[in-house]
Chains A and B, each alone.
Chain A
Amino acid sequence: MSEFATVSPAGSPPRIRNFPSLAPRLALPLATIAVFAAFSVVSPAFLVPTNVLSILTNNFALQAIIALAMTLAVTSGGIDLSVGTAVDFASFAFVTLVLAGQPVPVAAVAGLGAGLVVGLFNGFLIAVIGISPFLATLGTLFIGRSIQQQLTNGGNPVYLPQTGIPDAFRFLGHGSLFGVPVTLAVAVLLLALFGLYLGRSSFGRTIIAIGTQPVVSRFSGLRVARTVTIAYGLAALVAAIAGILLTATVSVYIPNSGNAFLLNAIGATFIGTTLSPLRRPNIPGTALGVLLLAIVANGLLLSGLNFYWQQVGTGLLIFAVLAFSFLRGR
């Protein structure tokens, strides 16, 4: 039937473009390339292999893992302000057990478990009790902060000695896989895995439907509470991986340091969502969002601007995204 080829519900022209046109699909990659090119011109120190690797390892990798966690929560229709708490809990459990002489794999599993507790607690508050995600995870953030201060005598860092560190620990922090730093490799692997899974699986579809229209999802028989709990659990688990890698990299656990990743994680998720064809949270978008923020941060620094200008760059970037989205919406 030929009428399927053209939209024509009598009298009502389609409100939204049906097939995502090319511009929104390419907006984010093009913006990233443009910013990268601009800094390459402005600063001779920017387009140097060591610097590019530094951007990817130091500015991108951990932040991307935590932004991935955030994206999971945002996709389910909420937000996770306590991603940093899961990072910290994992990091604390990991360091403590390594210090106690436990094998690194055991310590890592314990770290993941500690992070997961945070996520399941969030899931319980949100899906079972029905607290709004913002308030629930804000509460978790505060409680987590207090717990860490209690555990560390008011916030003293836990250092690992310079000597006698297990090789496995060193490998996580400073090793490389096929020439790629472990942290970066893990980040890329996780992004690819979750990107593929959320994009192609029935779980991914379910979580998007729940995040978009929870009531319709309930009326369609989707298990909303269970899915939301899993989303927050997964988010915390992913954040916990970042926590373990962070500690392995710096050989220290600093209480409440995970929160430093929170705002950029939200920013990157927002950028990825806004600049995607259907305006849905999505992992490739989040990854590019983190990359964009990382390039801006590094580029501004190399351009000779004071470190404190970084946040201005991030803010302006978000305004630019908003402006673009507004123009597109008309």
Chain B
Amino acid sequence: MSDPSPAKPDLHLDFSGVSKSFGGALALDGASLAVRRGTVHGIVGQNGAGKSTLIKILAGLHKPDAGTLLVDGVSQPHLTPALAEELGIHFIHQDRLLVRSFTVGEALFLGREPRLPGTPFLDRRRMQREADAVINRYFGLSIPNGRLISELSTAERQIVQITRALIGKPAVLVFDEPTAALVRREADLLFGLIRRLRDEGITILYISHYLNEIEALCDDVTVLRNGRTVAALPVANTSARDLARLMIDADLKELFPVRTIARGETVLEVDALSLKGRYEDVSLTLVKGEVLGITGLLGSGAKEFVRTLFGLEAASSGEIRVRGQRVKSLKPPDAIGRQLALVPEDRRGQGVALDLSVAENTTLSSLGRFSRFSFLARRAEKAAVQALIQRLQVKTSGPDALLGTLSGGNQQKVAIAKWLSAQSEIYLLDEPTVGVDVGSKAEIYALINELAEKGAAVIVLSSDLPELIGLSDRILVFFRGQVIRELSAASVTPDQLLAEATGSHIREELAHVG
């Protein structure tokens, strides 16, 4: 890692000691990044490791609290988006897609439209010429400037994004999760393009969750963990497995209580379930008292699979049986009727209503229990809620407090309490501890264990791998729409699991493409 030593001439980007905190939470803690000129440099790390903060600092969107940023050996303490562009740093964002109602020409030249000399009018002919030159040269095709972005395919949109960057004559091109939305063939084309751009002397930064891509494509790689740079090394000297090990924090283990597993009867069977374009041929059985872990990258289909079980998506084929009974058309009310429960990842958007009270949230899925002739027995309701508050140790002023006044961890406890009140027996927990403080985390883990011990069946979907291993009995790994592995939680390590989830098994296959 780089000490504040004199600028090294072969380094295009040289960041050191970069720190940044948001409202007390440290996103970057003295991270460093050294990128050699004309190389493809990978950045990897788990969610929350600080990758996106680092990239946003490079883009001039965030100002670091501390640290030095050298670009071409020159210190840039006041980086702004405009200055970054001036320095030739361009970004291909997966999430900042183009404005759909723009035409290709507008999207390509937004903010830097060429004018007819001496007039305020756009030089449309020159715009088309410049666009054609780039698109034809690199992609061997043509996209008319007049087409609407909304008419383009995902791959074509990405071409437009890259073209926009190339028209700006970039020195550094940053690809942020570029393949997440691409099919395999398109991704292969993209890799070919990236290698070609590198050979033309452009420095490439490549951020991806797919470690196999990093292995196949990058020259060097920087590994971030908890806001720190834990490794910076040539890819030739490492493997996806090693990278996975570096990405994972091995220090937190003791949070997980031991559970005595009392296996009961089968409550949930899934047979060859498919949802077109999301996942295919998923089968599993779940017994009472079991915690089944599921993991997979964004786009692996794991989330959609869990949503299907709760009736939020309609499977295109396959069968779901709850307690031996075949479920035909499933909607959330039916799922709840069969005592299924879903705690969604997006707590504030889907899990709990911040503008309703603790009590109103807790009984939202079990109003029938508390009403007679449609009138609510408010005293009984309040007593039941009070009991759940006690049991889950929810820190709140009482059942009437608005949920928005609670901390994230306590909101999550209410999201779970809602299903305890509904007397659910099959729990689907999607990232149950996302955005939850460590103390509440431990309490939620204990609660999940308690539920399983009392005979509930639990499916936990999580990208927090130590958590998943600590909680689960078995773990299913989703990759690009399929279950590629079933592992016993007792015998798997987080880095093995990460290697599976990030596709190290297709590494050899991919290596041939380049």
Contact = CB atoms under 8 A, between A and B. Distances in A.
A200 B381 CA distance: 12
A142 B73 CA distance: 67
B401 to A, nearest CB: 4
Contacts of B365: 220-222
Interface string B413-425: 0000010000000
Given A7-B397, A201-B374, A221-B365, A15 B404 contact: yes
B22 interface: no
B344 A16 contact: no
B356 A213 contact: yes
Contact-size category for B: 35 or more
Interface stretch (A91-99, A203-211, A241-249, A262-270): A203-211
Interface string B317-355: 000000000000000110110000010100001111111
Nearest to A196: B375
B156 interface: no
Interface string B379-415: 0000000000110000111101110111100100000
B368 A209 contact: no
B124 interface: no
Given A200-B378, A218-B332, A221-B333, A14 B344 contact: no
Nearest to B401: A18
A205 B342 contact: no
A215 B349 contact: yes
Contact of B395 (A8, A202, A220): A8
Interface string A277-292: 0100000000000000
B405 A16 contact: yes
Contacts of B312: 219
Contact of B351 (A5, A201, A219): A219
A201 B376 contact: yes
Interface in A1-55: 1, 3-12, 14-16, 18-19
B73 to A, nearest CB: 42
Interface residues of A, number: 37
A219 B350 contact: yes
Contact of B353 (A5, A19, A213, A221): A213
A138 to B, nearest CB: 24
A212 interface: yes
A219 B355 contact: no
Contacts of A217: 353, 364
Contact of A10 (B336, B364, B367, B407): B407
B215 interface: no
Given A209-B360, A213-B356, A215-B349, A9 B395 contact: yes
Contact of A9 (B336, B355, B367, B407): B407
Contact of A18 (B336, B351, B368, B402): B402
B405 A7 contact: yes
B18 to A, nearest CB: 25
B76 interface: no
A4 B410 CA distance: 13
Contacts of A5: 397
Given A4-B389, A8-B395, A220-B364, A215 B350 contact: yes
A221 B402 contact: no
Nearest to B419: A220
A25 to B, nearest CB: 13
Given A8-B395, A201-B375, A206-B367, A16 B404 contact: yes
Contacts of B363: 205
B454 to A, nearest CB: 22
B407 A6 contact: no
Interface string B183-219: 0000000000000000000000000000000000000
B314 to A, nearest CB: 14
Nearest to A10: B407
Contacts of B402: 16, 18, 278
Contact of B405 (A18, A218, A221): A18
Contacts of B407: 9-12
A197 B467 CA distance: 46
Given A202-B370, A205-B376, 7 more contacts: A4-B397, A5-B397, A8-B395, A14-B401, A16-B405, A203-B374, A205-B367
Given A202-B374, A205-B376, A212-B356, A222 B364 contact: yes
Nearest to B369: A202
Q: Which 9 residue pairs are nearest across A and B when measured between Cβ atoms?
A: A9-B407, A221-B336, A202-B367, A213-B353, A14-B405, A202-B371, A7-B397, A18-B401, A220-B364
A216 B360 CA distance: 12
Nearest to B341: A221
A3 to B, nearest CB: 7
Contact of A209 (B364, B390, B404): B364
A34 B356 CA distance: 32
Contacts of B355: 212-213, 278
A200 B375 contact: yes
A223 interface: yes
A208 to B, nearest CB: 8
B383 to A, nearest CB: 14
Contacts of A220: 332, 364-365, 418
Interface string A172-198: 000000000000000000000000010
Contacts of B410: 9
A6 B396 CA distance: 7
6 contacts: A7-B405, A19-B400, A202-B371, A208-B360, A209-B353, A219-B342
Contacts of B350: 215-216, 219
Contacts of A203: 374
Contacts of A222: 333, 364-365
A221 B356 contact: no
Residue in B332, B370, B378 whose Cβ sees the most chain A Cβ within 10 Å: B332
B372 to A, nearest CB: 10
